[in-house]
Amino acid sequence: MKYAICLLLGSILGSLLTIPFFIRKDIVEEVAKWYKTILKILPAILTLFLVGSMITVFWLHADSFLNPPHMNSAKDLMQAILQNKAIMQVVMIGILLIAFGALSFIVRIPFMRMEHIRIFGFEYKKEADKIVEAAAVELENSRQFEYYRLAILSTISNEEFYINKFKPYIDEGMKLEAKSLVEEVIAIMEMTYREELHIRFNYEVIEVFEDVLEEEKIKHMPRFVRELGLEAKNTKESISFTDTGTRQSAVVSPILFSSAQDNSFLLVFLYSSEYTFDKTDELHLHALSNTLNEFAVRAVYERILEPEKPMIC
């Protein structure tokens, strides 16, 4: 018992004497490296110490364990434990291990993040891990969205789309069937979102003549979507909004073709309860609009520069 107390006091004193050395940064770094190395093998050392101690105690006092005395009450049991040298040695080993663990924790404090030593620190760390995992998932989802947005732009802007999809919407009089063209483009976007991202949204493409948005064409839409449409019509700019009451989100974007001769333009309405539209969707629709406008200008120049076909008599 005396040896155990001396060992415990010596460990405490030794730990306290080492604290001032933690003040210097270089010493702290060296001690940290050494201590981390020790921590890696510490569980194995403690396990071997515990197993070895138990085997030694059992070997030296095998008779006490194989032929224990008979007890008639709890009081007799306690007396037998206190008077049995072998059992007391096992108890002291347990106490020493607990004391060593407590000292080990105290010495580790300078090398630990603060949340590890707060009350309920484990829960805080667990919550922090959840936040990190959620952020990683959100980042991956954002990358996936950007990939498919760029894929849609790539599909719309390539030569094959211009020849096979865009040019058929231009009649002999160089008039562009803009509404049908934009509906096909938005249909490609809707299909990509639905099949690749598993997100569904409703869409409408509505013509605005002489700056008048007919109420009859939008009356079936949610109220906040109609209000977005009126604002986009007046400002000629894309706008998005999420209604917290219905948990629906929408984006409305005007598409103006520079070749339009009747002072008309289109309004694209996208709304959904499965997805939150934001500024990135506004920019995406704006990029689609610019691409279609470039094609419209190109088609005009190609028609102007196209050589006249010889007359066949």
185-206 pLDDT, tens digit each? 999 999 999 999 999 999 999 9
Has residue 110 got a pLDDT over 80?
Answer: no
- CB-CB contact of 22 with 110 (8 Å): yes
* Exposed/middle/buried for residue 286 (C-beta within 10 Å: 0-12, 13-18, 19+): middle
Predicted TM-score (pTM) of this structure = 0.57
Q: In residues, how long is the chain?
A: 313
- CB-CB contact of 201 with 193 (8 Å): yes
- The answer for residues whose C-beta is within 8 angstroms of residue 156's C-beta and 6 or more apart is 185, 188, 288, 291, 292
What confidence category does residue 120 fall into, taking pLDDT thresholds of 50, 70 and 90? very low
Q: State the sign of the Cα–Cα–Cα–Cα dihedral 77, 78, 79, 84.
A: positive
Q: What domains lie within the chain, and their CATH numbers?
A: 2-112 (no CATH), 132-305 (3.30.450)
pLDDT score recorded for residue 194 = 94
Q: What percent of the chain has pLDDT over 90?
A: 38
pLDDT score recorded for residue 179 = 92
- CB-CB contact of 288 with 280 (8 Å): no
pLDDT score recorded for residue 142 = 86
Tokens of 252: 């409305």
Cα separation, 113 vs 129, in Å, equals: 14
